[in-house]
Structure formats: C-alpha cells, structure tokens
C-alpha cells in the first residue's frame, strides 16, 4: 500500500534519494534544483541516511566528486540545473565515457545568457549527445518514479551509463501535487545494493580510470558506448515492467494518449503533456480526433517505436522547448522526423519552438496547434515547417 503525500517535485526527488540512500551525494546549489540537495542534507544531518554528503565549490567539482566516488565503487548521485550543468560539461562526457552509472536529477531551466532562472529545455538539449540516458517527467510522481528506476537501469551490466531524470523547473519542481510514495523497505529491495564488477579500491584488481585513449582504441570505446545505449532500451522496459508489478504504475518509452484512433497529434515532453491532455479531451468532445505522444525516454531515442506509433496519423506537430538555433528545427523534431523517414513513414510533420525562458504555455495556444494540423490535413500543404507559438510580435504587439 503506497503512502499518500503532497510534495513538490524537488521534495519528491529528495525523498527518492533518501530512500535510495546512495553512498555519496555531491552537489552545488543552483536555482531551481537547489532544494533537492538542501532537503537531502537534512536527511544526512538527522541520520535518516548514511550518505557521505560533499558540499563542493562548483558544479564542475560536484560531477568530478561523483566520478571519483563511482570509480572507487560507490553509488553516487547529484542534482543541478542550467548553467550548473553547463559548468559540468567536461565532466558529463567523462562520466559517460568511463561508463560510470551516476544518477542526476536535472531540473530544467534556461541556460544563460541573458540570465533566466525559468524553465525551458536548453540545458538538457545541450548534453543530449553526451552519452547519458535521459528520462523526462511530466509531473512530480513521474520524477519520483523515474529516480527509483534510475539505478536499476544505469547499473545494469549491459548498460553501465549515467542517467539523468529531467523535470521542469518551477512548473513541477516547486509545485505541490498529490503523490504516492513507496515504503522505504520496498524501495530498498527494488533498487538493491550496488556491487560493481570493477572499481579502483579493489586491491585484487589494480586498474586505472581515465587513461590516455588515442587513435588505436577511442573509436572502439565510443562504439561500445553506443551499443550500451542500445542495450538500455531493453533494460528500461524490463525495469519498468517490474516497477509496474510493484506499484501498478506503467511506464514505457513514451505515453500514447488517445492516439490509437487519432488523426492529428502533438509530440512533446515533460509538463506540457499535462496541458495537452486537457486540450485533447476538449477537442474530443467536439468530435476532433486529436491525440498526444509524450516522450519519456529521450536518450536512447525510440525512433522505430515512435515512427510506428505515429504512422497512421494525417499530421503531427512536434513541440520543442529549446531552439537549436540551426534554422532547421529543434532537437526533438529532428529525431522524430528522422525516425519517421528512416522507418518509411511519410507523415506531414511541423515543428513549434515554444516556452523559451519560462514563457507560459496555454491551452489556447495548443488548440491553435491542433487547428493548424487540421488545416494541413484539409489542404495537403505543410508550408513552413519551422514555427513558433507564444512568441510576441515585433514591437511587443
């Protein structure tokens, strides 16, 4: 029987970390993720966990400490946002290349500049090719659940990659919602203990971590990382199935909301999915066959499965809460249309950049997106596929 609570997304993440009871947590404060290590530090001080909490001087040092701890054989966690993740950039790549299954809670926020502390996905998109598994969370419950599954996925012998759990800054991180927690003993049993096969403090197997890796081997090691990312797909499904048996809550690569008989659909991630579901329900009452595909697993990207899920549609809109500034659409759009093309699905698809710097996303704007899709279906013409919504006109009008 679950424990009913009312928590913010940051509190939910901190409680998940408490229940996991990692060996090491290293963190540096940055809005809007600051509360996660702040809450967790109280669990350390009152003896609720036996974690070694390392208060470092920067986010670069936080990830460096996690790398050192994980390489030594410890289970390590951290949390950050935006510029903090940017400062970790060098170490983010090192963590994945060393195959260290560190788990990070990433509370999504716009990357400066100009400075902005509110939500978009530019921080996550900046490291999307770094070799980290990336799970996105619509609400507080999903942020909590994804963290409970994270170590089981990252530490699997066929994966051994770091994993970040993303949630939207302030929108979920600071909003209080009803949530169902697992009992501590069930979490302990589900997550299990960490027993790495190779680690620095194993006197019986002297080893080096992070040596020079030149032309003779680096290509092969990168191919091994890519193979591990492919392996993660199977492991994510296996762990999600076991989690469903424990909790009744079902997770996969993505959620299909009223998509089976839909003619038009939106593809999006994180909290925007909640508003989109509301819009879909309203459109259904009007006889409009609208649907939603909410991406949970962004890395590895489920290209074949997404293409299959969208193949029957007449028009699709992909929403990106970050602009790649490449004049050719956002990162999620690129992955979706690539997956459609490679898998032989020719579905008219448009991209909308939205919500930059925390710009509010309204039901009315999402209704307009569905209206645009209806027009594409009616006329058979896509026009400009690279679009915005929520952007003020020139002069602020």
Question: In this model, does residue 2 exceed pLDDT 90?
Answer: no
Q: How confident is the model at residue 1 (pLDDT cuts 50, 70, 90)?
A: low
Q: What is the mean pLDDT of residues 25-42?
A: 98
Tokens of 356: 């930059």
pLDDT above 50 (res 261): yes
DSSP letters for 211-249: ----TTTHHHHHHHHHHHHHHHHHHHHHHHHHHHHHHS-
CATH number of the structural domain spanning residue 271: 3.40.50.920
Strand residue runs (E) in the chain: 3-8, 24-27, 52-55, 76-80, 103-108, 133-136, 163-168, 176-181, 254-257, 264-269, 290-295, 297-299, 315-320, 349-353, 386-388
Instruction: Assess whether 219 and 187 both reside in one domain.
Output: yes
Domain count, the chain: 2
Domain boundary among 198, 213, 247: 247
Q: What is the pLDDT of residue 396?
A: 40
Quick check: 397 pLDDT over 90?
Answer: no
The whole model's pTM is what? 0.97
pLDDT in tens, 285-305: 999 999 999 999 999 999 999
Containing 282, the helix (H) or strand (E) segment is: helix 272-285
CB 381 within 8 A of CB 329: no
What's the mean pLDDT in 7-26?
98
Residues 283, 243 share a domain:
no
**Whether residue 155 is found in the same domain as residue 296:** no
Closest to 266 (Cα-Cα) out of 339, 350, 147, 324: 350
Instruction: Read off the pLDDT of each residue in 330-357 and give the average, rounded to a whole number.
Output: 98
What pLDDT, on the 0 to 100 scale, is given for residue 393? 80
The CA distance from 275 to 354, in Å, is 14
Domain range for residue 310?
254-396
Q: Are residues 23 and 131 in the same domain?
A: yes
Mean pLDDT of 214-222: 96
Close Cβ partners of 141 (under 8 Å, ≥ 6 residues apart):
12, 177, 179, 180, 249
Is residue 394 predicted with pLDDT exceeding 70?
Answer: no
């Amino acid at each position: 029987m679950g424990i009913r609570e009312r928590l913010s997304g940051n509190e939910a993440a901190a409680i998940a970390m408490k229940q996991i009871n990692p060996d090491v947590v290293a963190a540096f404060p940055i809005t809007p993720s600051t509360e996660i290590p702040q809450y967790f530090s109280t669990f350390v001080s009152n003896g609720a966990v036996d974690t070694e909490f390392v208060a470092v001087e920067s986010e670069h040092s936080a990830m460096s400490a996690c790398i050192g701890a994980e390489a030594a054989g410890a289970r390590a966690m951290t949390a950050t946002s935006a510029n903090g993740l940017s400062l970790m950039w060098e170490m983010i790549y090192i963590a994945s290349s060393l195959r260290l299954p560190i788990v990070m809670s990433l509370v999504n926020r716009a990357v400066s500049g100009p400075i902005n502390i509110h939500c978009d996905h530019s921080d996550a998109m900046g490291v999307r090719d770094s070799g980290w598994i990336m799970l996105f969370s619509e609400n507080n419950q999903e942020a909590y659940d994804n963290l409970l599954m994270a170590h089981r996925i990252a530490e699997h012998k066929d994966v051994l990659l770091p994993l970040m759990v993303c949630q939207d800054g302030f929108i979920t991180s600071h909003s209080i919602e009803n949530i169902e927690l697992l009992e501590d003993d069930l979490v302990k049993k589900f997550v299990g203990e960490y027993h790495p096969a190779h680690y620095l403090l194993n006197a019986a197997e002297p080893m080096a971590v992070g040596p020079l890796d030149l032309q003779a081997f680096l290509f092969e090691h990168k191919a091994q990382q890519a193979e591990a990312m492919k392996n993660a797909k199977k492991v994510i499904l296996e762990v999600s199935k076991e989690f469903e048996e424990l909790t009744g809550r079902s997770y996969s690569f993505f959620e299909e909301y009223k998509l089976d008989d839909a003619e038009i659909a939106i593809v999006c991630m994180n909290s925007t999915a909640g508003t989109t579901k509301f819009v879909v329900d309203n459109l259904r009452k009007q006889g409009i066959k609208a649907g939603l595909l909410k991406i949970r697993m962004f890395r590895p990207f489920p290209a074949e499965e997404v293409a299959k899920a969208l193949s029957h549609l007449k028009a699709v809109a992909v929403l990106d809460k970050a602009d790649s500034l490449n004049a050719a659409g956002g990162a999620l759009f690129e992955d979706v249309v690539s997956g459609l093309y490679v898998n032989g699905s020719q579905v008219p698809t448009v991209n909308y950049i939205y919500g930059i710097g925390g710009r509010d996303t309204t039901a009315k704007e999402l209704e307009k997106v569905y209206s645009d899709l209806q027009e594409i279906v009616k006329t058979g013409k896509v026009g400009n596929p690279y679009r915005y919504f929520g952007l003020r006109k020139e002069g602020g009008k």
